[in-house]
Amino acid sequence: MNKARSLSGALLLAAWIRVPGTLSAQQPEALPLKQAVELALQNSQQVAEAQARYDVAANAARMNASTFHPNVYAGSGAAYTYGFPQTPGGTAPSIVALSYLQTLFNTSLRGQVRAAGERTQVQSLELEKARNAVTVQTTEAYLELGKVRHSLDLARSELDGSARILDFTRQRVSEGLELPIEVTRSELADARLKQRVVQLEGQEKVLQRELTALLGLASDQRIEVDPAPLSLTDQQRERDLIDSALVTNLDLRQAEHERLAREHVLAGEEGMRWPTVDIFGWYGLFARYNNFQAYYQRFQQHNFNFGFQVRIPIVSGQQSATVALAKSELTLSEMEVKATRQRVELEVAQKYQRVRELEAAREVARLEVKVAQENVQLLQARFEERRSNLRDIERARLEENDKWLDFLNSDYDHQKAQLELLNLTGNLDRLFR
C-alpha cells in the first residue's frame, strides 16, 4: 500500500470512528464548521434583507400602536386675515397652538395593532428561516468540500495503482503471457480514473468558490475543512419528530401567527358596534390683530379646551362588509394552517424514512469497505506465498478505494438528509451543541 493511500485511508478511518488521527497534526489548521457558519451569517445578504423586513414590520407595529399613546403637537404661523379669522383647518388663528390627542377605545384600531404585532412575529420567523437556510447551505458546502477532497485523494492514489497495473500488463503481453486486449482494457480503466480526477478537481474548485463567497473571503483563499463528521447519531422516533415539528416548524408557526392576526382583525371589526372614545385637548394664544373683537363680544387671549369625544355607530353599511371580509380571510387562514400542518407531517415522515434508508446504505458501504480491506490483506498474504501476482493486489486496492468513495458519498448523503430533517423540525441548533 503506497504512502498517499495510507495517509488518506488513515484520515478517513479516523473521521469515521471519531477518534483523532495521529496524522491530523500534520494537516493545516482547519476552519471549524461552527466558525464557518458564523462568518456566513455575518456576510449573508439574505439574512440582512430578512433583518430589514423585520425592522420594517416592527416599526409599522409601533406606528399603529402610537394612536393609543399621547400625541402632543405645538405650532405657530402667520397669516393675513380679512373678514372672519380662521385657519385652513377651520380653527381660529393663534400665535401659539398646542394640541393633544389620544384614542382610548377603538376596537378596529386595537385589532389592527394586535394583528401588526402578530405579523411582526411572522417576520421574526422569516428572519430565522433565512438564518437556517444560510446555515444549511454553508454546512452542506462545507461537508461536500471535505468529501470531494477525500475522494480526490483516493482517486489520485488509484491512478498510481492503475499505472502499475498497466505496466505489469504490458510486460506480460510482451512476454506472451497475456493477450493485447488486456493492455487496452487497462488503458481504458486508467482513462476512466483520470476522467474521475478531472471531475473531482472541477467540483473542488466550484465548492471552494461557493464557500468563500458564503464566508465573504477572497475567491483564491483556500479553506481547510475539518474532516470530522457531524454528531447527529441520536435518532428520535418518527412520531416524536412529527410532534416536535408541529410545535417548532417555522412555516407552521408563521401560518399560526397569520391566523391569529386575522382573528384580531375580525374581533376588532365586530367590536365596532360599540362606541369609540378619544381624548383631546387644545390651547391657543390669540392676538387682537386678527380682529376677533369684531366678531365676538369679548376677546380672550388664552384659550383652552379639554375633553373626550364619543362616537356611537347608528347605521354603518361598511361595518357589515368589513366583518364579512375579515371572516373570509380568517377562514382562508385556517385552511392554510391545516394544509401546512398536513404538509409538515408528510414531509417529516418522508425525510425520516429517507434518513433511515441512507443510514442503512451507509452501513452497507462501511461493511463493503471492510470486506475490501480484508480482501487486500488476503491477497497480500497470497502474494507473499507466490499464489497471486501484483496485478491482483493492485486491482484489489483499486476496489478498496472505490468502496471508500462509495462510503464517502453515502456518508455525505446521510448527513445531508439529517440536516434537512433538523431544519424541517426546527432543531437546527442541535448542530453546535
How much is the mean pLDDT over the chain?
83
Of residues 285 and 22, the one with the higher pLDDT is 285
Q: What is the mean pLDDT of residues 359-380?
A: 90
Q: What does pTM read for this prediction?
A: 0.78
Asked if residue 201 has pLDDT above 70, the reply is yes
Q: Using DSSP, state whether 103 is helix, strand or coil.
A: strand
Domain ranges in the chain are 3-69+106-274+313-432
Grid cell locating 322? 368589513
Element containing residue 71 per DSSP (H, E): strand 71-75
Tell me what percent of the residues of the chain surpass a pLDDT of 70.
89
- Residue 233: pLDDT band (50, 70, 90) is low
Burial (CB count within 10 angstroms: exposed 0-12, middle 13-18, buried 19+), residue 397: buried
Q: What is the pLDDT of residue 27?
A: 52
Instruction: Tell me how far apart the alpha carbons of residues 144 and 361 are, in angstroms, rounded to a whole number.
Output: 18
SS3 content of the chain, % helix, strand, coil (to 5): 70, 10, 20
Q: What is the mean pLDDT of residues 331-352?
A: 94
Instruction: Give the DSSP per-residue string, 368-385.
Output: HHHHHHHHHHHHHHHHHT
Q: Using DSSP, state whether 420 is helix, strand or coil.
A: helix
- Residue 235: pLDDT band (50, 70, 90) is low
Q: What is the mean pLDDT of residues 140-160?
A: 89
Grid cell locating 121? 412575529
Of residues 6 and 63, the one with the higher pLDDT is 63
Q: What is the pLDDT of residue 17?
A: 32
Q: What is the pLDDT of residue 371?
A: 92
Asked if residue 21 has pLDDT above 80, the reply is no
- The dihedral over CA atoms of 101, 102, 106, 108, expressed in degrees to the nearest 10, equals 80
Tell me what percent of the residues of the chain surpass a pLDDT of 90.
36
- Residue 228: pLDDT band (50, 70, 90) is low
Asked if residue 16 has pLDDT above 50, the reply is no
Q: What DSSP state is assigned to residue 63?
A: H
For 108-130, the pLDDT digits (tens) are 889 999 999 999 999 999 999 99
For 46-72, the pLDDT digits (tens) are 999 999 999 999 999 998 888 888 888
Burial (CB count within 10 angstroms: exposed 0-12, middle 13-18, buried 19+), residue 9: buried
For 264-318, the pLDDT digits (tens) are 999 998 888 888 888 888 888 887 777 777 777 777 788 788 787 787 777 677 7
Q: What is the pLDDT of residue 227?
A: 67
**What kind of fold does domain 3-69+106-274+313-432 have according to CATH?**
Outer membrane efflux proteins (OEP) (1.20.1600)
For 377-421, the pLDDT digits (tens) are 888 787 777 776 777 777 888 888 889 999 999 999 999 999 999
First to last CA, the chain: 39
Element containing residue 340 per DSSP (H, E): helix 317-384
Q: What is the pLDDT of residue 12?
A: 40
- Residue 231: pLDDT band (50, 70, 90) is low
Instruction: Tell me how far apart the alpha carbons of residues 302 and 300 are, in angstroms, rounded to a whole number.
Output: 6
Asked if residue 20 has pLDDT above 60, the reply is no
Closest by CA position to 265, among listed 202, 340, 325: 325
Q: What is the pLDDT of residue 132?
A: 94
- Residue 13: pLDDT band (50, 70, 90) is very low
Instruction: Tell me how far apart the alpha carbons of residues 113 and 433 are, in angstroms, rounded to a whole number.
Output: 38
Asked if residue 225 has pLDDT above 50, the reply is yes
Half-sphere exposure in the Cβ direction for 303 (13 Å, CA): 18
Of residues 214 and 237, the one with the higher pLDDT is 214
Asked if residue 342 has pLDDT above 80, the reply is yes
